[in-house]
Amino acid sequence: MADRAMEEEEWEQILDKYRAAGKILIEVRDEALKLVKEGESLLKVAEFVEEGIRAKGGEPAFPCNISRNEEAAHATPSVNDTAVFSADEIVKLDFGVHIDGYIADSAVTVDLSGEHEELVRASEIALNEAIKIIHDGVTTSEIGEVIGNTIKECGYKPVVNLSGHGLLRYNSHAPPTIPNVGHKQGIRLKANDVIAIEPFATDGGGKVVESGNVEIYSLLKEKPVRMREARKLLGAIRKYRGLPFARRWLPQERLNLALRSLNSMGLLRDYPVLKEEDKGLVSQAEHTVIIKEDGCEIITAMKDSG
């Protein structure tokens, strides 16, 4: 019994780190959303998010994603990016916070045009409906079916090749996959699992494809490296412990050469920007939840949602 009590106490301490990460995320998100407006710099917003996380005692779990219009994921500003928000854009702000490797992840969509609120609401409603059915024993297929059906009922298509995911220590996309459509087979979730539910809705065809632009990488593995620049880069990215990092976070001297070298050796994973294949607009909503016996705890809830 003593060992079990100790295990429960240790697990509760871990869950408190997830909660602390969620608290930081909520605070930074509330402030960052005020900056998402016409004429504002994307780079300024991304740096505001990442620096704000660090100032509050956390670390970014991955680079701040700012995806616009048909972009769905993996878009983050470059080191000298001059892009600014336009009045006709639909903007997805997606970022994560970790405390000692324990991650909270959330995303929200802002419609700067004021013309696509129903699309924004489709992903939000799907997220809320999915959260309603979560409990110890629910399957990932059941969650996906609710998400997909809800988005369709709103008049849009779910993005079938994007999904939610588990969150483990220093692993921002861990098993299980939380689909955005129903599947015949699913994984049964259990109490204290931590997952990110992440509906994507579109007025396009419902699939994303990779574009050529890459600003985000992660370290897959290590092995001896001869090139001096590559060794230096490897030393700079070890601290991320396998979590994704941005090109703009790195020493810029001969960076492209060093990245190519590590990539050619199979040491890096790159994350091309994902775009809707028919150039349809995409909305996204995401929360991190802890599974409970009879429901779930939302650790990234908007302040006005309780």
Q: Distance between CA 33 and CA 66 in Å, rounded? A: 11
* Catalytic residue flag (residue 198): yes
Structure tokens at 250: 């790195």
Query: Of 71, 142, 193, 286, which residue is the catalytic one?
Result: 286
245-251 long-range Cβ contacts below 8 angstroms, 24+ apart: 245/62, 245/63, 245/216, 245/217, 245/218, 246/63, 246/76, 246/215, 246/216, 247/78, 247/79, 247/214, 247/215, 247/216, 247/217, 248/63, 248/76, 248/77, 248/78, 248/79, 248/215, 249/63
Q: Distance between CA 25 and CA 110 in Å, rounded? A: 17
Query: Of 70, 94, 142, 145, which residue is the catalytic one?
Result: 94
* Catalytic residue flag (residue 74): no
* Catalytic residue flag (residue 173): yes
Query: Of 198, 215, 229, 276, which residue is the catalytic one?
Result: 198
Query: Of 74, 98, 116, 165, which residue is the catalytic one?
Result: 165
Query: Of 173, 229, 276, 287, which residue is the catalytic one?
Result: 173
Query: Of 105, 145, 203, 276, which residue is the catalytic one?
Result: 105
Active site residues: 94, 105, 165, 173, 198, 286
